[in-house]
Amino acid sequence: MPLDTDRLAPAVLHGMANAIRALSMDAVEAANSGHPGMPMGMADVATVLWSEYLKHDPAAPDWADRDRFVLSAGHGSMLIYSLLHLSGYARPTLEDVRNFRQLGSPCAGHPENFLLDGVECTTGPLGQGLAMAVGMAIAERHLNAGFGDDLVDHRTWVIAGDGCLMEGINHEAIGLAGHLKLGRLNVLWDDNRITIDGSTDLSTSEDIEGRYAATGWHTVRCDGHDAVDIRRALDEALADPRPSLVACRTVIGKGAPNKQGTSATHGSPLGKDEVAAARATLGWDHPAFEIPKDIRDNWRASAARGVLLRSEWEHRLATHSEKAEFERRMRGDLPESFDLASLAQEFAAAPQKVATRKASEMVLDRINPALPETIGGSADLTGSNNTKAGGIGPLTAENYGGRYIYYGIREFGMSAAMNGMALHGGVIPYGGTFLVFTDYCRPAIRLSALQETRVIYVMTHDSIGLGEDGPTHQPIEHVQSLRMIPNLLVMRPADLVETTECWEIALREKTRPTVLALTRQNLPQVRHEASENLSAKGAYRLKAAAAARKVIMIATGSEVSLAMDCAAQLEANGIGADVVSMVCTQLFDEQDADYRADILPDVQPEEILRVSIEAGTTFGWDRYTMTNGLRFGIDRFGASAPADQLFQKFGLTADTIVPQIISKLNG
Ligand SMILES: Cc1ncc(C[n+]2csc(CCOP(=O)(O)OP(=O)(O)O)c2C)c(N)n1
Ligand SMILES: [Mg+2]
C-alpha cells in the first residue's frame, strides 16, 4: 500500500493523465489509425496505478520482483506506450511513439512482449491478457512458496475492457483464479459501457460484479476519473485477500468534447478538429509530442519508489542463500546436470511396447524430480494424459508450493495460464488434454508461438488410434494444422526413445512452445539405439534400404512401425525401402540442405518413390512426398470402433498399402 507521502495532489495527477491523453490522440492521429478512446478513458486510473501502486523500476524492466502489469485491452496500446515512455523506460523513445504503428517502431498496433521491455505479454486477442495474468499470479505465489517473501513478493495488475470480460475465456480464467484464491491479482475494468458496435446494452445485460463475486472474487467500484475514489478502491482491493475486480466507471475518449462517451473514439483517429477541441477542453496547449518539463518530472519522480524498492531487493538477493538457484530459475537455464540422454539409452537397451502417453509419463518420472521448475497439469484428463508423474503434488490455494495444477475442464484457460507462467519466468509449465481439443486451446497456442514462450502441450489420443470414442474425439486435421503455426514445434514421437528425445528438445527450447502428439494405444519400440538425439534433426533414417532403394517411407508417431512393416514386405519383394521417422517437420525443415537431401534425395519418382503415412489428413504431405509420391492418411472424419478395426477400415495396414506402392512402382 502506498505511503501518504506517495500521494500526489489531484491537480498533479490530472496533468500527468493529460500527458497520456495527448500522446495517445496525437500518435493515433499521426498514424492515421489506432484506438484513442481507451487510453483517454483510462488515463486517470492508469496514472494513479502507475505512480502510486505499481512496483516497478524503469531502469530495470526485467527485475524479477517487479509487479506485472498486463494491458489486456491491447487495442489501447497507446496507454502502455505512454506509461512506459513517460515514466522513463529506455524505450519507447518519443521518436518510437511518433512512429506508432509504423514498420520498425516497437510501438506496434498492439503491444508485443518481444518488442518492448515492460510489455509483459502480447495482447489484442481480447480476454487472453487477463487469462495470462492468472498464470503470472500463479507463478508468483508458487515461487514465493519456494523462495520466500524476501525474493518474491509482487502483484499482478490488469487493465481489461468490456470485451475482455465478455469473452468466454474470462469465465475459465476467473474461475481458476477464484478457486486458487489469487489475492495478489487485481483487475481494473474499464467500465465505459461502450464497445465497437455501440453501447454494451446492445449485447449484454449481465451482472458482471455478481458473476465475479460468485466465482470467489472481491469486487469494488469507483469513479475512474476521480483520483481519490480510485485510491479508495485500489486500497480496498489490496486489503482484500481475494482476487479483486475494480470496476472503474469511465467515459471512453474522455477529453474529446464532441466524441467522448461514444464508440466513435474506440478505433479511429479523432480528426484534426476534435483533437484541437480536446486540447482546449483539457487545457493542453502544447504541440503534438511535446511534454512540458514539470509533467515529465512528475512522471519520472513517480518511479522513485520502485527504484528504492529494487535496490533493497538487490541487497536481499545478494546475501540470500538461494541466490544462484533463484537466478538460474529466472534465467530459464536448466541445471548443468540435467540430461535425458542416458534415459534414452536405457530405454533403447530394453525395448518396451507402450503408448507414447505412457512413455511421456515415464520420462516425466525422471524430469520432475530433476527439474524443480516444472509445473504440470491437465484439463481434467490427468489419468488419460499421464501428466502427473515424478511424485509432484497438487498446487492449491492451501499449498502454492505444489507442482501439479488441476485446471478443471478449462483447456483455453489452462493454455493461457501456462503462457502467463512462462512469461513470468522461473517455471516451465506443461499441461495436457486430448489432441482434438487443441482446437479449444488454439488461440493460446498461437500466442505461445508469437510470444516465444516455453510452454509444453502434452496432447494425447492423437488419432483414430484412440478407437471407440469416435469422430468427435479423433483428430484428423489437427497435427497438420498445428504445423502451420510459425515458431511452434509439433512433435509426434514413435516410441519410448523418441518420446524421451522430444521431451529433452522441448525443455531446452527457451523461445519456442512445443506440442507433443501422443498415442492412446501401445506402440512397438522402433528405436534400439540412442547414442544421439535423432529427433532433434526433425526427421532421420530409421531404417536404410537393404535392396536397391526404390522407396522412401515417411511416417510419424504410431505409423512409423506400420512403415517398418511395409518396408519389410517391400524388401521381401526385392524392393529396397528406407523408413524415415518424421518426428517434427519444423526441425527437419531447419536442417542444412545436405542433410535434407541425404534423407530425401531430390530425384524423380521413377528413381525413388516417396510415400507418407500419417493417420490424419493427407493435406500438405506433398511437401515431402512431392506431387508424384503417395500419401496415406484419412481425409474424412473417423468412426467409433476398436482401433485395429479403424486402421483396417481406413486402409492403414501394410497389406493395403504395399500393393499400392508396388502398383505405382510398376507405373
Ligand atoms: C478475440 C477478439 N475479438 C475481437 C476483437 C476486435 N476488437 C478489438 S476491440 C473490440 C471491442 C472491445 O470493446 P471494449 O473492450 O469495451 O473496448 P473499448 O471500446 O471500451 O475500448 C473488438 C471487438 C479482438 N481484438 N479480439
Ligand atoms: Mg468498453
Q: At CB < 8 A and 24+ separation, what contacts does 596-601 make?
A: 599/539, 599/540, 599/541, 600/539, 600/552, 600/554, 600/624
Counting from 1 in the atom list of ligand 1, the atom nearest the Cα of 164 is 15
**Average confidence (pLDDT) over 429-451:** 98
pLDDT digits (tens, 9 = 90+) for 19-76: 999 999 999 999 999 999 999 999 999 999 999 999 999 999 999 999 999 999 999 9
- Per-residue pLDDT, 604: 83
- Per-residue pLDDT, 3: 52
pLDDT digits (tens, 9 = 90+) for 213-244: 999 999 999 999 999 999 999 999 999 999 99
Q: Is the pLDDT of residue 605 over 80?
A: no
Task: Give the mutation target among 40, 132, 196, 250 for probing the ligand 1 site: most ligand atoms within 8 A of CB.
Answer: 196
pLDDT band at residue 295, thresholds of 50, 70 and 90? very high
Rounded distance from Cα 72 to ligand 1 centre (Å)? 10
pLDDT band at residue 606, thresholds of 50, 70 and 90? confident
| Nearest to 442, CA basis, from 385, 388, 483, 386 | 483
Q: Is the pLDDT of residue 2 over 70?
A: no
Phi, psi of 322 (to 5 degrees): -100, 20
Point out the least confidently predicted range of 6-10, 189-193, 519-523.
Answer: 6-10
Mean pLDDT estimate for the chain = 97
Residue 253 near residue 215 (C-beta atoms within 8 A): no
- Per-residue pLDDT, 5: 58
- Closest-CA residue, ligand 1 atom 8, reads 75
Q: What percent of the chain lies above the pLDDT cut of 70? A: 99
Cβ < 6 A, ligand 1 pocket: 37-38, 73, 75-76, 124-126, 161-164, 190, 192, 194-196, 252, 266
Q: Is the pLDDT of residue 555 over 80?
A: yes
pLDDT digits (tens, 9 = 90+) for 532-553: 999 999 999 999 999 999 999 9
pLDDT digits (tens, 9 = 90+) for 563-602: 999 999 999 999 999 999 999 999 999 999 999 999 999 8
Give the whole-angstrom CA distance, residue 49 versus residue 230: 9
Rounded distance from Cα 510 to ligand 1 centre (Å)? 31
- Residue 607: CB atoms within 10 A of its CB come to 9
Give the whole-angstrom CA distance, residue 69 versus residue 157: 5
Task: Give the mutation target among 42, 126, 266 for probing the ligand 1 site: most ligand atoms within 8 A of CB.
Answer: 126
Rounded distance from Cα 78 to ligand 2 centre (Å)? 16
Residue 377 near residue 356 (C-beta atoms within 8 A): no
Rounded distance from Cα 163 to ligand 1 centre (Å)? 5
- Return the residue matching grid coordinates 487493465: 159
Q: What is the H or E stretch that residue 313 is in?
A: helix 304-318
Residue 458 near residue 431 (C-beta atoms within 8 A): yes
Q: Is the pLDDT of residue 1 over 70?
A: no
Q: Is the pLDDT of residue 4 over 60?
A: no
The set of catalytic residues is: 411
Gap between the terminal Cα atoms of the chain:
79
Supply the pTM of this predicted model. 0.98
